[in-house]
Chain A
Amino acid sequence: MAQAAAVAKPPAPPRRRRASATPRRLPYLLIGPAALLMLGFIAYPVISVFYYSLQEYNPTKPWRNGFAGFDNFVKIFTEDPVFWDTLVFSAKWVFVEVGLQLLFGLALALIVNQTFVGRGVGRAMVFSPWAVSGVLTSAIWVLLYNSQTGVTRYLADMGIGSYGTSWLSDTSTVFSAAVVADLWRGVPFFAILILADLQSVSKDLYEAAEVDGASRLKQFWHITLPHLKDAIILSTLLRAVWEFNNVDLLYTLTGGGPAGETTTLPLYIANTSVDAHDFGYASALTTVAFVILLFCSIVYLRLSKFGGENK
């Protein structure tokens, strides 16, 4: 942020006079539409979620609606085992997904950043799943995991997995199955972000290192990785938030099942509000999720010393 402000500043002081043929109101007019939309459709809903979290609010049981104080929150932390299960699963999901995506995404980015014959086509192909939606990813992997006609059947013929069971309906395989499906789409995204930043590493540094006789591994460790640090920290955080919040894939792939095995907290919230119409309780869950997310993000940014020293 500080950086951004600094960039905008230098031209401002001497030129302000001439530019102010435009009235002082212009910047406010320009951000007006964006600000109004965000106030109306993000800020206001956030506030109303906090408000509803203190209410008993269920359109199907209107006689019980009204102010409930902290009842919803007490219920979350004391009598709702599902909440803890979904929280644990969310954490596991985010850690595994983001960890693997970072690992594979970094490797993929390093590979396609090389010059080689067919690079353009190669890039286009490995990045293509990124364009695919969560629902479409689910649809594709439902076909692949189908016990009758999916790849799982052909794999079973080769002795991998067992015949006739869908990996999505078996509690022992559903997690890995969902992870792989999400990796298919998530890795390219990570790779694109990292590749974008790789393009800006100065080649001089490598040449200098080369003259000094540094090995490729050393160059990666001492030049590439430090350069990528901020981009990795930021994209990992955004990815984690996104993986936590996104319900499209799991909602359509597993529906949270079997036996609640793949229900993340946001999915639980969606089910509570959409299916059970328990809006008050869902809002309280949302508030808790929001606080957890905010807390984790702050801790993460602190620990990783984002943007700490300048490159």
Chain B
Amino acid sequence: MITKEAPAAAPAPTPVAPAAARPGKKRPAWDEVPRWQIYLPLGIYLVFTLIPFYWILLFALRPTGSTSLVPWPMTTEHFEKVWTDRGFGTYFTNSVYVGLATLVMTTLVALAGGYALARFDFRIKRGFMLALLCSQFVPGALLLVPLFEIFAGLQMINSLGSVIIAETVFQLPLSIILISNFIKNVPYSLEEAAWVDGCGRFRAFRIVVLPLLRPGLIAVGSFAFVHSWNHFLFALMFLNNQSKQTIPVGLNSLMSADSVDLGALAAGGIVAAVPVVIVFAFIQKWLITGFSAGAVKG
């Protein structure tokens, strides 16, 4: 988090010394990249990034049959159709439910596990960490069959619980590693000071460590939400009942329909995108610091 301030703060003091020694250069080279070398490639990339977004908006907002490149006159017919006829209202509720439940479960379980890894030495610690890393190589898609059998055995097919558990499990390894790295960045002495002041371990954790973990928890929680919101195969496999389906499955059914209704597909896509876009708009700044503090250093 300290490093994040650096680029903005650095240019101010630096010109003083080098400028005197080297009259030609006012700023260090890493900060004097010609502007066009930034804006030109960025602009080209931005076009590549934004055209698909524009295209989906265009299809969602213009009437069926229109070939105009501007979504005008605007219509909400596609949204109405998708929301009611195609069941996206129900899918949306299900997805919200799955996303939030996965978020809560992942964060709580990973917080406990991450704390244990960050603060204790115990016998199976190395084995546990190895298992976390190895699980990254286990392809979720390839475990569909045994997972299906397990959930069938637990009578959880067609219950959102199956998807919530599966998403949580596959989200856990990375979340635990991230959170334990965040906790390691919180000085142990802070916790100890709280014990000396008479706090129990749990209370010390809650009032001293937890507030400092907020950026990390936001990063981990939003990952869990976004992943489960976006993920498709588990819901496709474990939920046969249409009233239990989630948004990605709804989108897929729009695509695999005999004659693809492009307007409906676009409107469905926007319904699918809106929550994640909102989540990302809010957490943007925590995400990069979160990553640099938690992920890469580990």
Q: Which residues of A contact B (CB under 8 A)?
A: 1, 3-5, 7-9, 11-12, 15, 18-19, 21-22, 24, 26-35, 37-38, 40-46, 48-49, 52, 104, 107-108, 111-116, 120, 122-136, 138-144, 146, 149-151, 184, 188, 192-193, 195-197, 199-200, 203, 206-207, 209-211, 215-216, 219, 230-231, 234, 238, 241, 244-248, 251-252, 255, 266, 269-270, 273-274, 279, 282-283, 286, 289-290, 293-294, 297
Contacts and interface: CB of A to CB of B under 8 A. Distances in A.
B130 A1 contact: yes
Chain B interface main SS type: helix
Given A44-B150, A132-B230, 6 more contacts: A26-B120, A26-B201, A48-B146, A143-B262, A196-B288, A210-B30
Interface of B: 3-4, 6-8, 10-11, 14, 18, 21, 25, 28-31, 33, 35, 38-39, 41-42, 45-46, 48-53, 55-56, 59, 67, 109-110, 112-113, 115-122, 124-126, 128-133, 135-147, 149-150, 165-166, 168-170, 172-173, 176, 180-181, 184, 188-189, 192, 195, 200-201, 226, 229-233, 237, 248, 251-252, 254-256, 260, 262, 265-266, 268-269, 272-273, 276-277, 279-281, 284, 287-289, 291-292, 295-298
Contact of A200 (B42, B110, B292, B298): B292
Nearest to A41: B169
A245 B140 contact: yes
Given A114-B38, A139-B251, A200-B3, A132 B276 contact: yes
12 contacts: A8-B121, A21-B200, A28-B124, A42-B169, A193-B291, A197-B296, A199-B292, A210-B30, A216-B29, A216-B33, A289-B142, A290-B137
Contacts of A4: 117, 129, 180-181, 184, 298
Contacts of B137: 241, 290, 293-294, 297
Given A131-B279, A192-B291, A193-B295, A286 B142 contact: yes
A33 B255 contact: no
Contact of B184 (A8, A140, A251): A8
Contacts of A150: 55
Contact of A27 (B55, B67, B116, B297): B116
A111 B248 contact: no
Closest 5 CB pairs of A and B: A133-B230, A45-B146, A245-B139, A30-B116, A196-B291
Chain A interface helix/strand/loop/mixed: helix
A203 B231 contact: no
Contact of A38 (B172, B184, B262): B172
Contacts of A27: 116, 120, 122, 125
B296 A196 contact: yes
A57 B10 CA distance: 65
B181 to A, nearest CB: 8
Given A18-B192, A196-B295, A200-B3, A34 B30 contact: no
B267 to A, nearest CB: 10
A142 B231 CA distance: 19
A293 B137 CA distance: 7
Contacts of B254: 139
A64 to B, nearest CB: 17
B291 A1 contact: no
Contacts of B276: 131-133
B165 A144 contact: no
A203 B10 contact: yes
Contacts of B172: 34, 37-38
A210 B29 contact: yes
B233 A139 contact: no
A12 to B, nearest CB: 5
Contact of A241 (B136, B150, B173, B251): B136
B146 A52 contact: yes
